[in-house]
Structure 1
Amino acid sequence: MKKLGMIGGTGPESTVDYYQSIISRFQEDTGSKESLPELLIYSINMYKIFDLLQNNQEEELAEYLAAAVLSLERAGADFAVISANTPHIVFDKVQQKVNIPMISIVEESYRTAHQLEIHKIGLLGTKFTMENDFFKEPFMANGKEIFVPNEEDQQFIHEKIVKELEQGIVNEETKKEFLVIAERMIEQHDIEGLILGCTELPMIFKPQDLDIPQLNTVEIHVAKIVDMITAD
């Protein structure tokens, strides 16, 4: 059984969700409630991540994340993950700076979309995730179309993620507005699926809320993580 090293705190709410989901999925896969995986969590400061990205300091962000992964590596982790979407903007740079393999939430999300055979896909997340290409690239490179909301809606979503969801606040009015944005994307772009490209978005979106599949990036990532833990 392999030992996971997880970068958490990005934000705290989703870190808790990751931990609980990994335990639940592991016990389900092993068929034992008395079985638990061994894992390490290094909690970092999500606001530092936002500040670095806001100031276009991607190299500094890569160094910050790589230092955390290297600490997990020294503590005995066999592989690592970053429990958030936005920091994956420098995923490749981080992987080059460390020795243990890392599992990309972006690549796993693409694989899920491919398996579902959906070709026109909406993407929601922080403004950094929506306005940059790091999440879109594997989809576009393989002939899929990926759409984001307009600039005004992007700003609204980002603000609510940072000021509400990252704080553990679920506001019904915010949910209504998010669903309006999603429905508008369905109407305008005929999207066949929606990527919840921020690990806090499942606090707002529930499977029954939309008539199209939702790609919950936490669930997708966790499934691959547990596969890696239990791999021979």
Structure 2
Amino acid sequence: MATIGLIGGMSWESTAVYYRLLNEGVRARAGGLHSADVLLHSLDFAPIAEMQAEGDWAAAGVALADSARRLERAGAACLLLCTNTMHKVADQIIAATKLPFLHLADVTARAIRGTPSRRPLLLATRFTMEQAFYRDRLKAFGVEALVPQPEERDEVHRIIYEELCRGRVEAASKERYLAVVERAIRDEGADGVILGCTEIGLLVSQADFAVPVFDTTALHAAAALDYVAEVKSVAA
């Protein structure tokens, strides 16, 4: 199996979910004692979060590009960036190596295109909800991502950074997310929900909604396994 390179740690709470999903996926596909062939570079999130808050995306891109090069030197066959928000600097990462880069927004958009949903609500960090880098990528696939109202975005963002990234899963915060989605369905015609921050799947899931839910973490992990399976098939 080709080695999957993970740029993680942002936060490590969701990177741990990536690791679990990749290994569960290999076990489901191959059986027995098989597990995922993975290289992980887990960054210290605190400096990256400071760069985000300060708008110093160039410096963050340098740090993540260096991570990509380290994984390439270690023998990774492809790269996954285990965070939606940091796909803002995806171009810097892609330029840093010759490795295939599985872009999380593309993976998500293709999954949405396989359903009737075309106007899903995007729940994510403020950066991902308010800046164009992610929504424009979805739009290129014909997906018009809606975003919560300004005060709702503040709360969605706060819960991610102050709770989920710190390992806290609060019932009151889940109810708040459910209310945000319910309002968007009722008032704006949202026909799906994108869990557009890799930690959000710790809080809500498809079981909580009648509309389709697109868990970006799960979709990304599955796409990586599909990719390495295809590489293996071609090599054979």
Asked if TM exceeds 0.5, the reply is yes
Question: Does the CA contact (< 8 Å) of 1:42 and 1:72 recur in 2?
Answer: yes
How big is the shift at 1:4?
A: 1.0
Counterparts of 1:19-168 in structure 2, within 5 Å, are: 19-30=19-30, 32-168=31-167
Q: Provide the residue aligned with 2:2 in structure 1.
A: 2
Question: In the aligned structure 1, how far is the partner of 2:182 from the partner of 2:46?
Answer: 30
Structure 2 length as normaliser, TM-score? 0.94
Q: How many residues align?
A: 231
SS at match of 2:40: strand
Structure 1 unaligned blocks of 5 or more = none
Deviates more, 1:15-24 or 1:34-43: 34-43
1:188 alignment counterpart: 187
CA distance in 2: counterparts of 1:213 and 1:144, whole angstroms: 14
**Counterpart residue identity of residue 184, structure 2:** M
Counterpart of 2:129 in 1: which secondary structure? helix
Shift of 1:61: 1.2
Listed one character per residue, the Cα deviations across residues 95-125 of structure 1 (whole Å, up to 9, x for unaligned) are 0122211111110000001111311111001
Separation of aligned partners in 2, 1:127 and 1:228 = 30
**Post-superposition offset of 1:151:** 1.3
Structure 2 residue matching 1:147: 3-state secondary structure: coil
In structure 1, C-alpha distance between the alignment counterparts of 2:56 and 2:185, rounded to whole Å: 34
Counterpart CA distance in 2 for 1:33 and 1:142 is 38
- Percent identity for Structure 1 against Structure 2: 29
- Hey, what's the Cα distance between the residues in 1 that align with 2:147 and 2:174? 17
> What RMSD, in angstroms, separates the aligned Cα atoms of the two structures?
1.2
* Structure 1 stretches of at least 4 aligned residues deviating more than 4 Å after TM superposition: none
The CA deviation at 1:33 is 2.7
Q: Amino acid of the residue matched to residue 25 of structure 1?
A: G
User: Is the CA contact 1:37–1:229 (under 8 Å) kept in the aligned structure 2?
Assistant: no
Secondary structure class of the residue paired with 1:111 = helix
Q: What is the identity, as a one-letter code, of the residue corresponding to 1:114?
A: R
Describe how 1:195-214 pairs up with structure 2 within 5 A: 195-214=194-213
| Separation in 1, partners of 2:160, 2:32 | 34
